[in-house]
């Protein structure tokens, strides 16, 4: 059992332009670094038991200010890593959106596998299993930060809401947002979803 604070990483220069995927050395830009500091300040009054992050730099850099304020280390959790986009990794989003497979990604993601990469179903199973296993190490009231990626977090939210996989695209997870997930007995219960500390300016 645990209470997870699921944090999407802050902005980087590839957001909205290219599919970063698991490309190394994608770092937070200046805005993303400010967002990470804002999240750390927003959570400072809470007693956070542990901070975990995807292995990718942008998630680690988002988790680091939170961990520093809380006086705990950043621990890497591989299950939080981004979807393996295979041959799509690094490609222009504008070009991908003009491709014939984009409609499947948006409308029927449960049937889609990225060429040379993961399926959405595999990524969802991975992150859900990782969170369930991690929750067993903590008590119900323990606060645990997990810094990860938009699609990974949307898939986790959809899983624990028992939302059909084909509908997960309806969930919005903004950069540097916090989603509160309570896990108890394998079931998920939610507090705020997609909360940002500057929510109205982000609309």
Share of the chain above pLDDT 70, in %: 98
Global pTM value: 0.95
Q: Which residues contact 45 (CB under 8 A, 6 or more apart)?
A: none
Q: What is the mean pLDDT of residues 83-100?
A: 95
What pLDDT score does 77 carry? 98
b/e per residue 87-118 (b: at least 16 CB within 10 A): ebbeeeeeeeeeeeeeeebeeebeebebeebb
Banded model confidence at residue 202, pLDDT cuts 50, 70, 90: low
Share of the chain above pLDDT 90, in %: 92
CA 188 – CA 179 distance, rounded (Å): 12
What pLDDT score does 203 carry? 44
- What does residue 136 show for φ and ψ, rounded to 5 degrees? -65, -15
Distances (CA, A) of 179 to 5, 98, 156, 186: 6, 31, 11, 18
- For 135-187, write each residue's pLDDT tens digit: 999 998 899 999 999 999 999 999 999 999 999 999 999 999 999 999 988 89
Which residue ranges form the domains of the chain, and what is each CATH number?
2-202 (3.40.50.1240)
CA 78 – CA 177 distance, rounded (Å): 20
CA 69 – CA 131 distance, rounded (Å): 23
How are beta strands 178-184 and 2-8 bridged, if at all? Answer: antiparallel
């Amino acid at each position: 059992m645990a209470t997870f604070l699921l944090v999407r990483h802050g902005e980087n220069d590839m957001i909205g332009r290219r599919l970063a995927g698991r490309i190394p050395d994608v770092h937070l830009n200046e805005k993303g670094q400010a967002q990470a500091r804002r999240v750390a300040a927003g959570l400072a009054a809470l007693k956070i038991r542990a901070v975990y992050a995807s292995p990718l730099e942008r998630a680690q850099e988002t988790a680091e200010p939170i961990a520093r304020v809380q006086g705990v280390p950043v621990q890497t959790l591989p299950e939080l890593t981004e979807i393996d986009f295979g041959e799509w990794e690094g490609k222009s989003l504008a070009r991908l959106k003009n491709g014939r497979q984009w409609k499947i990604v948006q409308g029927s993601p449960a049937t889609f596998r990225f060429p040379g990469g993961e399926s959405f179903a595999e990524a969802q199973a991975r992150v859900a299993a990782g969170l369930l296993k991690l929750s067993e190490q903590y008590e119900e009231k323990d606060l645990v930060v997990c810094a990860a990626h938009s699609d990974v977090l949307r898939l986790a939210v959809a899983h624990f809401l028992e939302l059909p996989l084909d509908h997960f695209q309806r969930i919005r997870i903004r950069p540097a947002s916090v989603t509160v997930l309570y896990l108890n007995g394998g079931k998920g219960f939610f507090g705020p979803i997609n909360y940002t500390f500057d929510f109205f300016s982000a609309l």
